[in-house]
Amino acid sequence: MGWPVKPVGGPGEAIQEEVEDRGNKSGEESKEPGWASGMRTVQSQESSPEELPMEWSRQWVVVRRVLLAVLLFGLVSGNSVLLVYIFRNCGPGPCYSPACLDLLAHYLASGNTSMAPCTNFFSFTCGKAKGIQPLEDENKSRLRRILESPVSWHLGSGEEKAFQFYNSCMNTHAIEAAGASPLRQVIEELGGWRISGNWTSLDFNRTLRLLMSQYGYFPFFRAYLGPLPVPPYTTAIQIDQPEFDVPLKQEQEQKIYAQIVREYLTYLNRLGTLLGGDPGKVQEHASLSISITSRLFQFLRPLEQRRAQGKLFQMVTIDRLQEMAPAIDWLSCLQAIFAPISLSSSQSLVVHDLEYLRNMSQLVEGLLLKHSDFLQSHMILGLVGTLSPALDSKFQEARRILRQKLRELTERPPMVGFVVKILLCLKGCIPAHPRWMQCVEETGAFFKPTLAALFVHEAFDPNTRSAAMELFTAVKDALISRLQRVSWLNEETRKEAQDRAMELFTAVKDALISRLQRVSWLNEETRKEAQDRVTHLQVKMGPLEWVLKPEPARQQYGDIQLGPSFLQSFLSCARSLRARNVQRFLLPFPHLRWQVSPWEVNAYYSISDDVMVFPAGLFQPPFFHPDYPRAVNFGAAGSIMARELAHLFHQLLLPGGCPACDTHALQGALLCLERHYAAFPLPNGSSFSDSHTLLENAADVGGLAIALKAYTKRLLRYHGETTLPNMNLSPQQLFFRSYAQVMCKGLSSQDSQDAHSPPILRVHGPLSNSPAFSRHFHCPRGALLNPSSHCQVW
């Protein structure tokens, strides 16, 4: 039989032992006097071998309690210090680099932190952004500094001609001194006009050829080179409707129509008077010119109507077009425009509105029979508007007044948004920015290869390029990952896209595929095709090949003759540019066909080459900098990248664009998104077309989600994230703040022709559809930017 074993050291057990021992001896001890009893107790504590362990155990219990308390306190205190140390040294710390401090100043100057982010994040971000210079203007300022720097270039080089042209453009004293003389010389070369009393009746088609080939003015139709919309995307000559100075449609409100006609007539009268015309003749010819423009407008058909009828891309030969629209000598005109391309009557063309060309030809034939001199005046008046940027201040002021008057008219309902795009983008109009910016834009257009190399050398060093590629890789991975979750894609399509996704730019691919995985309306086959397309997409980041090796392109400036007047320099550069554009489409190298300047901000996608370009101008402060917190780069430049990638799948969202998809789920997602945006109020009673902007809204929402996913994955892989000091924003909050910063534009720039929603909706729409936004900004349920439901297209 074993002996029972008692645990040692417990206070309850020690007390119990003491009680039991005293109970056993109570009979003896009670017979002694009290002091003896007390003495015995003392003596027993000191000398009794039975009682010594019991008393020592009681003291040890107390000591152990104290030691345990001290140890526990030390552990808690030590862990607290350790956690503080870890958070201070491993958590996001403030960035004090010069780039970050400049960005901080920019954000503080543009935002209005008194606004509640959960109810008006647009004002929270952009409330004071009215005076902030946009990135595009900042890039132009950089070009200005380059063009105005004192540098000596090799005689006759592209750099020298670019600098000479810019200086000639800035020499307003010489332009004013020349007055209208250079323009009168141009009119004489075209045979003159009856307004000035001297007119040599030239052949109509000869004048038309000169206008289009030598002066870049297309009064009755536009002709240009462009890729076909279907594989193999070969280049073809395309004929489209012309561009007009003003809209003169008869169905406009009669009062507004009459006011537009009156203002445009005043403008044309002023042009004729500045060119020395007789006021009576000027009035007569200007009135008929307006009548011609109004008739041509009546022949136009909306783009949607032509697309619905299958008549947006009609293939016809030059011979066939000659039969349908005989007033134009098509072969000689097109040969002059696209020289040195050799054309024949059997050459195929792409015509975008054949019915318009028929009606236009009949109108021209009638005018040639009765009013050929008026037709000549109509063409010359239009040319003067095209050449306005190269003329003196009197012509520019006339253009500015016309633009201002027409803008005032368009601010009156119901004309709001109807002609804003045309009015804000009048061909040859004088921009509302300083002279240096106009000269930078023109120099950049005519000497793009030269300025591209100078800009890239100045603004896109290897570190920036490397950081930009890392950012795109992350975004593309996120997009491919998004595709995995799109439910309306079939399994075969999904698998193929995944396999290809791993071949190119790992980080960006994951985010995109992941996003597509969550789209419920994609079937597996379409999902796979979408992922496959993303994987094999070619990407050009920053400078293109022709920028890095610009010498062959610079040698193409030999045909430019500058002077003696700025107008002559302008025309010489314009002719050289048109010739280079034609030559570029004859070359077998796709990168030579790009039209995006490195200093531009917008990305560009080529259908024919399946290449997407993110120009160097995009990767500039305040959208991107290698020293910025990753949250800023992913929120601003990263969201732009993701949105452009989402544009690759616009076709799937169109009616009939994805026959194998779950169309019911897709339409439900699109309807959800349309209602989601319609629920947001707009200031000042402004409005927009939900259906017109639906595709862009889907790209905005998808782009934000993809960029956020890419940023989140990047945080898991890399440490050392930073924030901006004194802004009290977490990295995730800074991500959303940077996204909204991209949209800081005034509502006045919105018009009905713009495919995008107003800037305030481009902020609130995507953010309110992101549960992560409301979580990181602690938005209460039911707040404007934390609605009860969300939509998922991508």
Tally of domains in the chain:
1
Question: Cα-Cα-Cα-Cα dihedral of 149, 153, 156, 160, to 10°?
Answer: -10
- Whether the ω angle into residue 564 lies within 30 degrees of 0, i.e. cis, is yes
Tell me the two tokens of residue 370.
Answer: 């009765």
Is the pLDDT at 370 greater than 80? The verdict is yes
Position 432 scores a pLDDT of: 53
Mean of the pLDDT values across residues 403-411? Answer: 75
List the catalytic residue out of 470, 644, 662, 721.
644
State the CB neighbour count (10 A cutoff) for residue 453: 22
Asked if the structure places residue 218 within a domain, the reply is: yes
Asked if the structure places residue 209 within a domain, the reply is: yes
- Whether the ω angle into residue 232 lies within 30 degrees of 0, i.e. cis, is yes
Listed residue (438, 564, 567) closest to 180, CA to CA: 567
Asked if the structure places residue 543 within a domain, the reply is: no
Type of residue at 244: F
Return the H-helix or E-strand segment holding 530: helix 524-536
Is the pLDDT at 563 greater than 60? The verdict is yes
Tell me the two tokens of residue 276.
Answer: 């020395």
618 class by beta-carbon count within 10 Å (0-12 exposed, 13-18 middle, 19+ buried): buried
Is the pLDDT at 423 greater than 60? The verdict is no
700 in active site? yes
β-bridge mates for residue 94, sequence order? 723
Is the pLDDT at 204 greater than 70? The verdict is yes
What are the tens digits of pLDDT across the range 749-785?
A: 444 456 788 889 999 999 999 999 999 999 999 999 9
Mean of the pLDDT values across residues 481-509? Answer: 47
β-bridge mates for residue 722, sequence order? 93
Mean of the pLDDT values across residues 20-44? Answer: 39
Is the pLDDT at 421 greater than 80? The verdict is no
Mean of the pLDDT values across residues 499-526? Answer: 56
Distance (Å, whole) CA 136 – CA 150: 24
Crossing angle between the packed helical segments 254-274 and 393-410, to the nearest 10 degrees: 180
Tell me the two tokens of residue 441.
Answer: 């834009």
Distance (Å, whole) CA 117 – CA 133: 23
Give the domain range for residue 198: 181-390
State the CB neighbour count (10 A cutoff) for residue 747: 15
Crossing angle between the packed helical segments 372-386 and 204-214, to the nearest 10 degrees: 10
Position 608 scores a pLDDT of: 60
State the CB neighbour count (10 A cutoff) for residue 566: 24
Annotate 464-497 with b (16+ C-beta within 10 A) or e (fewer).
Answer: bbebbbbbbbbbbbbbbbbbbbbbbbbeebbbbb
* Percent share of the chain, pLDDT over 90: 32
159 class by beta-carbon count within 10 Å (0-12 exposed, 13-18 middle, 19+ buried): buried
Going by DSSP bridges, is the β-strand pair 611-614/538-541 parallel, antiparallel, or unpaired?
parallel
Is the pLDDT at 292 greater than 90? The verdict is yes
Tell me the two tokens of residue 299.
Answer: 């022949």
Is the pLDDT at 368 greater than 80? The verdict is yes
Question: Cα-Cα-Cα-Cα dihedral of 116, 118, 123, 129, to 10°?
Answer: 100
Return the H-helix or E-strand segment holding 19: helix 11-24
Distance (Å, whole) CA 326 – CA 319: 10
Is the pLDDT at 610 greater than 60? The verdict is yes
Q: Which phi-psi region, left, alpha or beta, contains residue 612 (left: φ > 0; alpha: ψ -120 to 50)? A: beta
Is the pLDDT at 277 greater than 70? The verdict is yes
Asked if the structure places residue 786 within a domain, the reply is: no
CA torsion through residues 261, 266, 271, 275, sign: positive
In this structure, are residues 567 and 185 in contact, taking their beta carbons and an 8 Å threshold?
no
β-bridge mates for residue 523, sequence order? 489
What CATH number is attached to the domain comprising 361? 1.10.1380.10
59 Cβ partners below 8 Å, 6+ apart?
Answer: none
Distance (Å, whole) CA 204 – CA 242: 18
Alpha helices (H) along 587-730: 630-633, 639-646, 650-653, 663-678, 694-717
List the catalytic residue out of 600, 700, 721, 751.
700
Residue the block writes with tokens 């140890």: 71
644 in active site? yes
Query: Predicted confidence band at 345 (pLDDT cuts at 50, 70, 90)?
Result: very high
Position 148 scores a pLDDT of: 92
Residue the block writes with tokens 């016809």: 316
Strands, E, within 228-333: which ranges? 235-240, 314-317
What are the tens digits of pLDDT across the range 658-691?
A: 777 888 888 888 899 989 998 888 766 555 556 6
Query: Predicted confidence band at 552 (pLDDT cuts at 50, 70, 90)?
Result: low
The DSSP annotation for 416-462 comes to TTTSHHHHHT-TTPPPSS-HHHHHHHHHHHHSHHHHHHHHHHHH--H
Mean of the pLDDT values across residues 443-462? Answer: 83
What are the tens digits of pLDDT across the range 727-758?
A: 899 999 999 999 999 888 654 444 445 678 88
Asked if the structure places residue 301 within a domain, the reply is: yes
Average pLDDT over all residues of the chain = 77
Distance (Å, whole) CA 135 – CA 363: 46
Return the H-helix or E-strand segment holding 71: helix 52-90
Mean of the pLDDT values across residues 691-713? Answer: 88
Query: Predicted confidence band at 260 (pLDDT cuts at 50, 70, 90)?
Result: confident
> 650 or 7, which is more confident?
650
* Cα Rg of the chain (Å, integer): 38
Distance (Å, whole) CA 94 – CA 261: 59
> 331 or 512, which is more confident?
331
- pTM for this structure? 0.68
Asked if the structure places residue 488 within a domain, the reply is: no
Distance (Å, whole) CA 727 – CA 706: 25
Distance (Å, whole) CA 493 – CA 497: 6
Asked if the structure places residue 473 within a domain, the reply is: no
State the CB neighbour count (10 A cutoff) for residue 32: 12
Asked if the structure places residue 32 within a domain, the reply is: no
Tell me the two tokens of residue 125.
Answer: 């971000």
The DSSP annotation for 390-423 comes to GS-HHHHHHHHHHHHHHHHHHTSTT-TTTSHHHH
